Amino acid sequence: MSASTTQTMVRAGARWTPALVALVFLVALNLRPALTSVGPLLPQIGTEEGLRGGVLGLLGALPLLTFAVISTVVHRFSRALGPERVVLFALLLLVAGILIRSYTDNVGLWIGTLVIGAAIAIGNVLVPAIVKRDYSSKVSRATSIYSACMATGASVASAIAVPLSGAAGWRGSLAFWAIPALIVALLWIPRARTREQVVEPAASDHHPATSVWKQPVAWLVTAFMGLQSSTFYFMVTWLPTIEISTDISAGQAGVHLFLYQIVGIAAGLAIPRLMRRPNNQIAATVTASVPMLIGVLGMMFIPGLHAVWAVVAGMGTGASLVVALSLIGLRGRTQHETTELSGMAQSVGYLFASAGPIGAGYLAEGTGGWTIPLLLIALLATAQIVVAIPAGRGRAKATVV
């Protein structure tokens, strides 16, 4: 089969306006607030619900475990129903999960968190594939925009979590994020009414039908995704608690978490400049990976500069997320393969990442401090730098798993 017939697309969505196409960025805006609003409120939740460090870490990591389970099957529902319809379902599921978590008993806290994780897992997998489809000539730039939207939602949620809890309690603070998710779901309905059909042959001379699970480059992308996710979710779960333990106020710790995430937006928007050419991608992956190591080492050895290290680590997080998501779009050769690669990278990656918040919570509880957990994250950040080099080489040279 020739390259010219590798992929045929019948687009019911071709009639969509640019505004409808760009709605995918508003979906991205809702993929993090339900998670990052929890960290600043963990002390309140722990006190009211009688939960200790390790269990609170499990609560923070539970969505990541859900990501690992759900991500591998999302592509099947996408092919059967169409990505637009599945995204609408995910948004409505997100609203339901937020309300269950906020306004039911202790059991509902855990059930709602699971539902939230399932909803976000669907969006995590499908948004990169939709961006690759709709912005195929500008994958890295479009990826930086939607990752900036995720970072914006995440940072705002962190910053206002404590002030909102002062007015409505921690339950009301968490419940607030059902509102924007519902609004975007309503706006998404016109896209869900049409179904995009993608007809992709099983194989071609250039794109053999090899499972992504057997592709070394897919495992490199997965490793990079898992390592950068580990450091990110450790920070959004425990950074406020770490700072509060050093007599920083809860409000100021929330502001520092906001800074950590907001500077990631600028870093994420800048890094695609290094991703444009294949021979620059190693530089991009390494450049994105180094700041997190610097930030964590700073927290360990010069702990008084809380805001500085939050900013430095945030630069690494923002750039690393864009690189990880761009690698999914760039290494996937068709839309279907991109969806499968996205599911694989996020399933295995988030399963690995879930150990960060859980392990850190138990290590801090067992050792009576945060030195050992920070050392663990420093080791993970170092491993990310090592993986960044072969992951940045692409398919032609990335042959080492």
Total domains in the chain come to 1
In a domain, 150, yes or no: yes
pLDDT reported for residue 250: 80
> Which three-class secondary structure state does DSSP give residue 8?
strand
pLDDT reported for residue 56: 81
| CA–CA distance, 143 with 138 (Å, rounded to integer) | 8
In a domain, 184, yes or no: yes
> Which three-class secondary structure state does DSSP give residue 10?
strand
Task: Characterize 116-133 residue by residue with b for buried, 16 or more Cβ atoms within 10 angstroms of its Cβ, and e for exposed.
Answer: bbbbbbbbbbbbbbbbbb
In a domain, 205, yes or no: no
In a domain, 203, yes or no: no
CA distances from 100 to 39, 56, 194, 400 (A): 18, 18, 30, 44
CA distances from 326 to 6, 145, 177, 238, 343 (A): 22, 11, 27, 27, 14
CATH of the domain at 29: 1.20.1250.20
| CA–CA distance, 306 with 308 (Å, rounded to integer) | 6
In a domain, 7, yes or no: no
For residues 84 and 196, the answer to whether their CB atoms sit within 8 Å is: yes
Residue 35 structural domain: 12-196+212-391
In a domain, 1, yes or no: no
In a domain, 201, yes or no: no
| CA–CA distance, 100 with 174 (Å, rounded to integer) | 10
pLDDT reported for residue 195: 57
In a domain, 400, yes or no: no
> Which three-class secondary structure state does DSSP give residue 9?
strand
pLDDT reported for residue 114: 94
pLDDT reported for residue 97: 96
Could you report the average pLDDT of every consecutive run of 10 residues in the chain (401 residues)? Answer: 36 61 91 89 86 78 85 83 92 97 89 95 87 78 83 85 90 95 95 61 51 87 92 85 85 85 85 74 91 94 89 92 85 76 84 81 85 92 95 58 33
